[in-house]
Amino acid sequence: MTTAEIKAMATEYIINTYGDRNLAFVKGEGPYLWDADGKKYLDFLGGLAVNGLGHCHPKVVAAIREQAGNLLHTSNLYYIQPQAELAKLLIDNSDMDQCFFCNSGAEANEAAIKLARKYAKDSGRTDAYEIITMDNSFHGRTMATITATAQTKYHVGFEPMLEGFAYVPFDDLEATEAAISSKTCAILVEPIQSEGGVNIPSDGYLQGLREMCDKHNLLLIFDEVQTAMGRLGTFFGYQSYGVVPDVITMAKALGSGVPIGAMLAKRQIAESFVPGTHAATFGGNPLVTAAASATVRTILEENLAVNAVKMGNYLAGGLMELKDKYPVKEIRGKGLLRGLVMDVDAKPLAAQCIENGLVTICTNDYVLRFLPPLNINSSHVEEAVGIVEKSMSEVL
């Protein structure tokens, strides 16, 4: 089928929650995609931080094929060997003790919200249920996680929002301290706000939140849906900042494209989830956990977190060279989560980059965001920067 034929069929039969789209990708290999009309693209969006190993990594494909031939699904009423193996891999490479598996980042955050409330009750704080989140955050699109997302544009039409969330500015310890009350049970924060514009915390901010939570007996929850899996230069993003949370949520790159999310917690906190308190029918089934285990092992064995730092710095350097010629304000980010901040609307630039064969996205109106695979090399970076510069020359 051609792109036009695919678009016509989708327009007729699929609810339009994603707007008008002009591309239909049908093949991927490494950092490259091909659309239904045969055009090749360099993918520096990575399925919104999902394709951390690029497309169709042979080790992940082999794991999926092998598992699909053995067992696709039973249920969490029974033990699942690939799930147990994945849990051990994640715990062995974190400061957490136990995992809960689900299907997405939103579900992982939903689980963390429930766990925080339940732990507060189990700890004798029966009136504590409120969670502090940050302006410009993004935590998902369920009713709880969209309420946790402190961006009013996502709330419009779905009011009333749920009770139990308080919003404060990101990177503002004083405002956070002032928002804490006897009702507060946790603080939920992204180590870097990716969807919110690639907003980076100042030195001491995350450590200050840790100290604040210790002082007031609150849980510190890190939403690592986009920052885990080596993207910031360490396997988990919190390890880049030397601050250990009580609960971590993750998804995106965990399964290289299969739908899987996870919540990790310290044992004392995890014990508040007992049989009957939370569940997920498909959560951590044999197929997705086999794919995720292959993904995790590849990232660790190939030391891709180190490559993320090297290539991320190279990308930032290349983009900085454009500042003298074009209205570039700054380059933000860490590792291979980078934002090119413009002094003008970046949406036309993002569209032109795609037209020229580079998949990227505009976020927060002025930021061109890059989330390429962790295993890219210098030639891929040079190709991407070249396309950005060409696109700038055409639309700016």
pLDDT, tens digit (0-9, with 9 covering 90-100), for 68-82: 999 999 999 999 999
Q: Is 170 a catalytic residue?
A: no
CATH topology of 3-57+303-395 equal to that of 59-301? no
pTM for this prediction: 0.97
What pLDDT score does 326 carry?
97
For domain 59-301, which CATH number applies: 3.40.640.10, 3.30.1480.10, 3.40.50.720, 3.20.20.140?
A: 3.40.640.10
Q: How many CB atoms lie within 10 A of CB 70?
A: 12
What pLDDT score does 171 carry?
98
Return d(Cα 43, Cα 22) in angstroms, integer: 16
Q: Is 252 a catalytic residue?
A: yes
What pLDDT score does 205 carry?
98
Domain 3-57+303-395, architecture per CATH: Alpha-Beta Complex (3.90)
Backbone angles phi, psi at 30, to 5 degrees: 60, -130
The catalytically annotated residue of 223, 235, 334, 370 is 223
What pLDDT score does 108 carry?
98
H/E segment holding residue 69: helix 58-70
The catalytically annotated residue of 118, 222, 252, 273 is 252
Burial class (CB in 10 A: 0-12, 13-18, 19+), 59: middle
Average pLDDT over the chain reads 98
What pLDDT score does 349 carry?
98
What pLDDT score does 259 carry?
98
**Is 26:11 a contact under the CB 8 Å cutoff?**
no
Long-range contacts of 179-182 (CB under 8 A, 24+ apart): 179/132, 180/132, 180/212, 180/216, 180/218, 181/130, 182/127, 182/128
Torsion sign, CA atoms 261, 267, 269, 270: positive
Closest CA to 392 of 358, 376, 379: 358
- 3 state DSSP class of 275: coil
Domain boundaries, the chain: 3-57+303-395, 59-301
What pLDDT score does 170 carry?
98
Which portions of the chain are predicted below pLDDT 50? none
The catalytically annotated residue of 44, 101, 138, 236 is 138
pLDDT, tens digit (0-9, with 9 covering 90-100), for 300-317: 999 999 999 999 999 999
pLDDT, tens digit (0-9, with 9 covering 90-100), for 94-114: 999 999 999 999 999 999 999
Q: Is 324 a catalytic residue?
A: no
What pLDDT score does 328 carry?
97
What pLDDT score does 332 carry?
97
Residue partners of 347: CB distance under 8 A and separation at least 6: 362, 365
Return d(Cα 64, Cα 56) in angstroms, integer: 11
